[in-house]
Amino acid sequence: MNNSSAAWQHGYYAADGYTYGYYREMTPTHLAWAALLQGEVMPLQRFRYVDLGCGQGFNLILLAACFPDSQFLGIDFMPAHVRHARKLAEEAELTNIRFVEADFLQLAQSPVSLLDGSGSELDGQVDYAVAHGIASWVSPTVRASLWALAGRLLRPGGLYYTSYNTVPGWLSAQPFQHLVRLNARTAVDGAVAIRKALETFARLEEVKAPIFAAQPGLKARLKTASEQDMAYVTQEYNNQSWQPLFVADMMAEAEAVKLAWLGTATLPDMFDGLMPAAAAKLIQAEADPVMRESLRDIATLKAFRRDLYIKGKAPAWAGERQRRITATRFVSAPFMELPEGSNGKLELATSAGKINFNRSVFKNVLDITGQPGGASLDEIQVRTGDASLSNTVQKVSLMMDAGWIQIPLAAPANAARLNLAIAQAVRDGAPYRVLAVPGVGQAASMDALKALLLAESANGEQFPAQAPAAEELLEKLAQLRRKLTVSLEIDGAKHTEGPVFDAELERLVREFSGPFWQAGKSLGML
């Protein structure tokens, strides 16, 4: 049966749930920094944040735990998503977040029924509205309602973040998606339709079908689809109205609901100097933002956009903007090491391609921001000897995009209850892969072993002030391993026992009960 045929689904594939992902670009700290670099000042305290199409709600719950003085609302039309989100929020004892099962078509006409966690109406009162990925998955009618709802909810000065698949980067995938949708006509969709289409294209490649020569990106796209989380892939390709979008068309739709183009939320894309000089010159010569951004997409074969729109564009004066930029503080990410690189170089992937940077430059910034309290951008510029402010801004923005440095919050919250709920759920089989880090308003990656250690470290419904001794944790793990398998990846291979496994397990447990626990307590994680 075609699972996207019910009237309430509007052609959207709703038979299976979406992933439980975390998206750094949607955090208020990231959005506020991106907006500030493009002239607009956004709040990081006592704001209202609405996620339009929140999926499982996991990302929004992480944010609500990090910003307890602010209000969060998640909207999704899939009952299973809302049920999961409400359950996790209740387990985390969060009172500043609500989830609503609703349809954009209905809400666009009357959003006055939407209330935040405190019971206040949100119509025209929202600071941040976000919609991750769905614009290119829904029908034009639903997308128009999504724009209309965002336009109504935002206050003057409110920020709208929308991410979506774009032309020309997704052109090579259109034949594959078309075949997936054709499978629906024979009552086959979901993961079965994906696998069937992948098998068909594998046979086409074997017979050297000309499409692979005509679309050089097709092979890589198919490989990615075969390796990604199937919960994402089924949502990506099974929607009846799936279509990569032109940025020019999105700009026109935004303008129709009084949302003005601000810029990108993808930090490296703000710096044209990272592009080949000829392409950058061509793009910068265009004064019209519609033409400029369209050329950017063509020049970089862009496949995915993260765009920012503002309701009522009124940039800060140049002096205020510079003061705010230079005063912004940064701290080294607590659980993310700088890669070793090769020959003193680090390779970063940008929309303009992979670019090599001097590793020592980034290491210097990490050393500066690794001091207690971190360092302001102004201090970073002075201590690194950068000749210009723009050089420092680009450097810290690239590092922030990579996750190596972050913006600390003035008054970190405590997300221990949420993180314990996450760890206990992972122990029981949940696919969560991050923990909330209130000190920087973001999240940090977590593997199954760390989740197990957290779950075993709790005293009832909370974490103790001091970490359990490593020896105590190793003993608990020895008992647990009689009933479950603990797997570690060592030098690219998985191990479940043996001397190498034992040595690595002890190292990880001692790191957990020492540096990780100390950092987790100081950042409000535990």
Among positive and negative, which fits the CA dihedral 399, 412, 316, 311?
A: positive
CA 93, distance to chain mean position in Å, is 23
| CA–CA gap between residue 243 and residue 266 (Å, rounded) | 21
- Reference 31, options 16, 20, 19, 41; nearest CA is 41
Number of Cβ within a 10 Å radius of residue 458:
17
pLDDT recorded at residue 11 = 75
- Are 369 and 271 found together in one domain? no
Which two structure tokens, joined as six digits, stand for 291?
A: 């033409």
Q: Give pLDDT, residue 509.
A: 95
Does any domain span residue 141? yes
241 to each of 138, 167, 198, 245, 276, how far by Cα in Å?
Answer: 6, 15, 20, 11, 35
Residue 157, SS3 per DSSP? strand
Q: Are 470 and 457 in contact (CB under 8 A)?
A: no
Overall pTM > 0.85: yes
CA dist 54 → 19, 138, 446 (Å): 11, 14, 22
Domain co-membership, 26 together with 122? yes
HEC string of 325-369?
Answer: HHHCEEEECCCCCCCCCECCEEEEEECCEEEEEEHHHHHHHHHHH
Has residue 517 been placed in a domain?
Answer: yes
Q: From start to end of 62-149, where are the E strands?
A: 71-76, 97-101, 126-132
Please indicate, yes or no, if residue 318 is contained in any of the structural domains. no
Q: Give φ, ψ of 229 to 5 degrees.
A: -55, 125
Q: Does a structural domain hold residue 120?
A: yes
In a domain, 316, yes or no: no
Boundaries of domain holding 228: 171-237
Among 216, 237, 258, the domain boundary falls at 237
Residue 9: inside a domain:
no
Same domain, 29 and 160: yes
In a domain, 8, yes or no: no
Residue-wise DSSP of 430-441: ----EEEEGGGT
Q: Among the three residues 310, 340, 365, which one is the final residue of a domain in this structure? A: 310
Mean pLDDT in order along the chain per 10 residues (526 residues): 63 81 97 98 97 97 97 95 97 96 86 82 95 94 95 97 95 92 79 91 94 91 91 88 96 98 97 92 95 95 96 96 98 91 90 90 96 95 94 97 94 92 94 96 94 92 92 92 87 90 94 95 95
Cα 422–306–302 angle (5° rounding)? Answer: 120
State the Cα–Cα distance between residues 406 and 214, nearest whole angstrom.
42
Question: Please, are residues 400 and 406 in contact by the beta-carbon 8 Å criterion?
Answer: yes
Q: Which residue has the tokens 């956009």?
A: 305
**What is the radius of gyration, based on Cα positions, of the chain?**
24
Do 376 and 435 sit in the same domain of this protein? no
Domain boundary among 253, 282, 310: 310
Which one, of 451, 422, 454, lies nearest residue 436 by Cα? 422
162 & 176 share domain? no
Cα–Cα distance for residue pair 510/467, rounded to 1 Å: 10
Question: Is there a single domain that holds both residue 98 and residue 81?
Answer: yes
Contact 82, 55 (CB under 8 A): no
CATH number, residue 333: 3.90.930
Query: Same domain for 66 and 148?
Result: yes
| Distance in angstroms (rounded) separating the CA atoms of residues 90 and 227 | 33
For residues 411-446, one letter each, b for 16 or more C-beta atoms within 10 angstroms of the residue's C-beta and e for the rest, the string is: ebbbbbbbbbbbbbbbbeebebbbbbbbbbbbbbeb
Whether 445 is covered by a domain: the verdict is: yes
The pLDDT of residue 1 is 41
> Is 157 found in the same domain as 90?
yes
Number of domains in the chain: 4
pLDDT recorded at residue 187: 64
428 and 452 assigned to the same domain: yes
Residues 149 and 266 placed together within one structural domain of the fold: yes
In this prediction, residue 376 carries a pLDDT of 98
Statement to judge: residues 154 and 301 lie in one domain = yes
Contact residues for 318 (Cβ-Cβ < 8 A; gap 6+)? none
- Same-domain pairing of 196 and 175: yes
Pairing state between β 405-406 and 375-376: unpaired
What long-range pairs does 84-88 form, CB within 8 A, spacing at least 24? 84/17, 84/56, 84/57, 85/54, 85/56, 85/57, 85/58, 85/60, 85/61, 86/57, 88/57, 88/58, 88/61, 88/418, 88/421, 88/425
